[in-house]
Structure 1
Amino acid sequence: MRNQFNILLSLIIFFAFTMHSCQSKTETETEKIATKQGIIVPKIDSLKYSEKYCCVLSPEQGFSVYDNPKGKIIGTLKRMGNIKEDNQVPYKIYLVTGDKKVKIENFREISSEIFAINYTDSAEGFVKVVDSSKSYWLSVAEIEKNGFKTVNWRDQMIEQSKGVLGYYANEPGLRLRKEPNSKSEIIGSVRGDLFEIKLTKNISGQWCKVKVTKYKEHPCNTDLEEAENIESQTEGWLKIIDDNGEPNLWSYTRGC
């Protein structure tokens, strides 16, 4: 009888440990997804608006481009040209390899006329840039040495939440849940730009606790007073980062 009890106890402990390990693994994986992609911005936020870095945010000397994390340098990502001859120079960055230069187009507008180099992966102190299908990497140590930093999308959105007009759910919308997981009770749905989302610093992997305000009319196009215009307010959890590491939210970077 005692042997049977010991076997049963061992099985209970084994399954409890296994479930805990699976849960920890899942939490680790979702945290990795939530932080794998982001942007490169000046360490001092106000320098985003400095002529020195404007308008595609980058130091004058650019960033060295590596063929792999801890690999060899194959070029430089930098601005080229004379602003006296071309007033669009601040908006142009090139991948320069020897005498060859390729104009890069895929940046992210993070404020009115302010663009950031975005990265699509991170590994071993490097971030992947320019083209997710090719192997172009920047050193995080060099980025920081030049007065810049890497910020994942989740942290960037939370940091900017108070300053933007509001965040809105990508189509086809998001489900607001009671807890930060896809099996939790649904307490509402968020879709379109009448549902304004404010983020809190309460996070869990790809999820963030939010405050959602449903307006009768969009705040940019109404004569109603703010209090009169509010239809409802709700708190809950939204999955603000999708399974590819991209934001599930958007904002009006140029205001109303």
Structure 2
Amino acid sequence: MKNTPSSLLLIIIFFGFTLHSCQDKMENENVAGKRGIIVPKVDSLKYSEKYCCILLPEHGFSVYDSPKGKIIGTIKRLGNIKEDDQVPYKIYFVTENKKVKIDHYREIGYEIFAINYTDSAKGFVKVLDSSKNYWLSVAEIEKHGFKTINWRDQMIAQSTDALGYYANEPGLRLRKEPNSESEIMGSVRGDLFEIKLTKNISGQWCKVKVKKYKEHPCNTELEETENIESQTEGWLKIIDDNGEPNLWNYTKGC
């Protein structure tokens, strides 16, 4: 049977739509994996005195001027905890000529902080000041018993233990499918909407379970069953277009 012009047009449109859909999925996945943190491979070691409290191995990490470039310094701790009990809360960028105190890290638990990265390329991750070229080798990170993990996977990994996640202001739209064109099922805003993540993901999106409370669980005398106003499931875009989390949680608990 010969293809008519109209059938050829339909075929072209179909393949064009399929290609565009695949490109969107790849772009969403790339964005989701763009930024994250550096943590011990064994999760429980986050709480060990050896790595406390800004998570870093004893000898630190070498800092490169570019992916596969040259070493220009080290990220490490300095000082003796017997003389200064704040040593675990301080890390420095150390070169031959100077040392600079670093403030580029994120709190991920009670008094637990992790160095965050803002880009990745050729087996390296970009750290510290995002406007400058400071890179760490992923191979070296892993050699020292650490790993890189993007924000999406980190949030999912700790979702079971977290008190709950909440949408950044001004809130998020809960959708039926993992895309911005899908049907809106409702909005999630403020800390009365507790978000639990599942392992069902699609790029920047995650299927979630949402509980709407009458009163915040940390400030109520109501039993949980009578405090729940509603429960629903749907998809939230938990990673923004810069690769940063669209959610927050109480790292210190109630």
TM band (smaller chain):
over 0.9
Q: Provide, for residues 73-114 of structure 1, a one-character-per-residue CA deviation record: whole Å limited to 9, x for no partner.
A: 110011111111111000111001113110001210000000
Alpha-carbon distance between aligned partners in 1 of 2:183 and 2:7, rounded to the nearest angstrom: 33
After the TM superposition, which of the residue ranges 241-250 and 93-102 deviates more from structure 2?
Answer: 93-102
* Letter of the 2:208 counterpart: V
Which residue is equivalent to 2:126?
A: 128
Q: Provide, for residues 143-191 of structure 1, a one-character-per-residue CA deviation record: whole Å limited to 9, x for no partner.
A: 0000000010000000000101000000000000111011111111100
Alpha-carbon distance between aligned partners in 1 of 2:8 and 2:229, rounded to the nearest angstrom: 55
Structure 1 residue corresponding to 2:14, chosen from 16, 24, 28: 16
Structural mapping, 1:223-238, within 5 Å: 223-238=221-236
* Letter of the 2:193 counterpart: F
* Letter of the 2:145 counterpart: G
Partner SS, residue 131 of structure 1 = coil
Q: Does 1:168 align with 2:166?
A: yes
Which residue is equivalent to 2:74?
A: 76
Structure 2 residue corresponding to 1:195, chosen from 190, 193, 196: 193
Q: Does 1:149 align with 2:186?
A: no
In the TM superposition, residue 37 of structure 1 has moved relative to its aligned partner by 0.4
Q: Provide, for residues 2-33 of structure 1, a one-character-per-residue CA deviation record: whole Å limited to 9, x for no partner.
A: 87x44443333222222211111111001000
- Between the aligned residues of both structures, percent identity stands at 76
Q: Where does the alignment leave 5 or more consecutive residues of structure 2 unmatched? A: none
Partner SS, residue 169 of structure 2 = coil
Which residue is equivalent to 1:220?
A: 218
* Letter of the 2:138 counterpart: V
Alpha-carbon distance between aligned partners in 1 of 2:152 and 2:23, rounded to the nearest angstrom: 20
Alpha-carbon distance between aligned partners in 1 of 2:81 and 2:249, rounded to the nearest angstrom: 30
TM-score, normalization by structure 1 = 0.97
TM-score, normalization by structure 2 = 0.98
Q: Provide, for residues 92-137 of structure 1, a one-character-per-residue CA deviation record: whole Å limited to 9, x for no partner.
A: 1100111311000121000000000000001111000001111100
In the TM superposition, residue 193 of structure 1 has moved relative to its aligned partner by 0.4
Q: Provide, for residues 34-78 of structure 1, a one-character-per-residue CA deviation record: whole Å limited to 9, x for no partner.
A: 111000000000000111100000001000000001111110011
Which residue is equivalent to 1:35?
A: 33
Alpha-carbon distance between aligned partners in 1 of 2:11 and 2:233, rounded to the nearest angstrom: 37
Partner SS, residue 142 of structure 2 = helix
Alpha-carbon distance between aligned partners in 2 of 1:240 and 1:167, rounded to the nearest angstrom: 10
Alpha-carbon distance between aligned partners in 2 of 1:121 and 1:141, rounded to the nearest angstrom: 16
Alpha-carbon distance between aligned partners in 2 of 1:110 and 1:40, rounded to the nearest angstrom: 11
* Letter of the 2:126 counterpart: K
Alpha-carbon distance between aligned partners in 1 of 2:94 and 2:8, rounded to the nearest angstrom: 62
Which residue is equivalent to 2:206?
A: 208
Which residue is equivalent to 2:54?
A: 56
Which residue is equivalent to 1:140?
A: 138
